[in-house]
Amino acid sequence: MTEGQPTVDTERKPKKGLGRKKKEPAKAVGFFQLFRYATGCEVLLMIIGLLCAALHGIALPLMCVVFGQMTDSFVQSGQQLNLTATDLQCEHAYYFIGIGCAVFLLGTFQVMLFLLTATKQTKRIREKYFHAILHQQMSWFDTHQIGVLNVRLTDDINTINEGLGDKICVFVQFFCTFLSGFIIGFIFGWKLTLVILAVSPLLAGSAAVWSKILATLTSKELSAYAKAGAVAEEILVAIRTVVAFNGQKKAVERYERNLEEAKNFGIKKAITTNVSMGFTQFVIFGTYALAFWYGTKLSVDEPENYTIGKTITVFFSVMIGAFSLGQGAPNLEAIAKARGAAYEVYNTIDQPRPIDSSSKEGHKPDCVRGDIEFKNIHFSYPSRKDVKILQGVNLTVPRGKTIALVGASGCGKSTTIQLLQRFYDPDSGEITLDGRDIRTLNVKWLRENMGIVSQEPVLFGTTIAENIRYGREDATDEDIERAVREANAYDFISKLPDKLNTMVGERGAQLSGGQKQRIAIARALVKNPKILLLDEATSALDTQSESVVQAALDKARAGRTTIVIAHRLSTIRTADVIAGFSNGEVVEQGTHRELMAKKGVYYSLVMQQLEVGNEEGIENGGFEKNSISSGRVEMKPTRRKSKKSKKDKKVLLHR
Whole-number pLDDT of residue 50: 92
Residues 34 and 177 occupy one common structural domain: yes
Regarding predicted confidence, which is higher, 261 or 508? 261
Highest mean pLDDT among 22-31, 468-477, 508-517, 542-551: 468-477
Whole-number pLDDT of residue 654: 40
Whole-number pLDDT of residue 380: 87
Q: d(Cα 368, Cα 7) in Å, to the nearest integer?
A: 68
Confidence of residue 41 (pLDDT cuts 50, 70, 90): very high
- Of the candidates 131, 138, 174, the one whose C-alpha atom is nearest the C-alpha of residue 153 is 131
Residues 569 and 529 occupy one common structural domain: yes
Residues 340 and 407 occupy one common structural domain: no
The fraction of the chain above a pLDDT of 90, given in percent, is: 5
Helix (H) or strand (E) holding 525: helix 513-525
φ, ψ dihedrals at 651, nearest 5°: -130, 120
Residues 275 and 423 occupy one common structural domain: no
- Whether residue 554 has pLDDT greater than 50: yes
Whole-number pLDDT of residue 123: 92
Whole-number pLDDT of residue 78: 54
Residues 390 and 489 occupy one common structural domain: yes
Query: Could you tell me if residue 139 is inside a domain?
Result: yes
- Whether residue 399 has pLDDT greater than 90: no
Residues 36 and 141 occupy one common structural domain: yes
Whole-number pLDDT of residue 53: 92
Count Cβ neighbours within 10 Å for each residue of 376-394 and write b for 16 or more, e otherwise: ebebbbeeeeeebbbeebe
Whole-number pLDDT of residue 47: 92
Tens of pLDDT, residues 459-502: 888 888 888 888 888 888 888 888 888 777 888 888 888 888 88
- Whether residue 641 has pLDDT greater than 70: no
- Whether residue 45 has pLDDT greater than 90: yes
Long-range (24+ apart) CB contacts under 8 A made by 383-390 are 383/139, 383/142, 383/143, 388/584, 389/415, 389/584, 390/415, 390/416, 390/419, 390/426, 390/584, 390/585
Query: Could you tell me if residue 317 is inside a domain?
Result: no
Query: Could you tell me if residue 280 is inside a domain?
Result: yes
- Whether residue 528 has pLDDT greater than 70: yes
Confidence of residue 646 (pLDDT cuts 50, 70, 90): very low
Q: d(Cα 478, Cα 451) in Å, to the nearest integer?
A: 19
Residues 78 and 157 occupy one common structural domain: yes
Averaged confidence pLDDT in the chain: 77
Whole-number pLDDT of residue 8: 38
Q: At what angle do helices 308-350 and 190-237 cross, to 10 degrees?
A: 40
Tens of pLDDT, residues 297-336: 888 888 777 788 888 888 888 888 877 877 777 787 788 8
Residues 380 and 276 occupy one common structural domain: no
Total number of domains in the chain:
4
Query: Could you tell me if residue 312 is inside a domain?
Result: no
In this prediction, residues 500-522 reach a mean pLDDT of 78
DSSP 153: I
Residues 526 and 403 occupy one common structural domain: yes
- Whether residue 89 has pLDDT greater than 60: yes
Highest mean pLDDT among 79-83, 202-206, 409-413: 409-413
Query: Could you tell me if residue 322 is inside a domain?
Result: no
- Whether residue 652 has pLDDT greater than 60: no
Tens of pLDDT, residues 93-122: 788 888 888 889 988 898 999 999 999 999
Residues 410 and 513 occupy one common structural domain: yes
Domain that holds residue 497: 372-589
Highest mean pLDDT among 17-21, 78-82, 337-341: 337-341
Regarding predicted confidence, which is higher, 587 or 146? 587
Residues 149 and 115 occupy one common structural domain: yes
Whole-number pLDDT of residue 495: 83
Query: Could you tell me if residue 654 is inside a domain?
Result: no
Distance of CA 495 to the CA centre of its chain: 39
Instruction: Identify the bridge partners of residue 498 per DSSP, sorted by sequence position.
Output: none
Q: d(Cα 598, Cα 592) in Å, to the nearest integer?
A: 10
Query: Could you tell me if residue 13 is inside a domain?
Result: no
- Of the candidates 325, 279, 317, the one whose C-alpha atom is nearest the C-alpha of residue 295 is 317
Regarding predicted confidence, which is higher, 637 or 178? 178
Instruction: Identify the bridge partners of residue 379 per DSSP, sorted by sequence position.
Output: 390
Instruction: For residue 124, give the CATH number of its domain.
Output: 1.20.1560.10
Query: Could you tell me if residue 114 is inside a domain?
Result: yes
Residues 431 and 566 occupy one common structural domain: yes
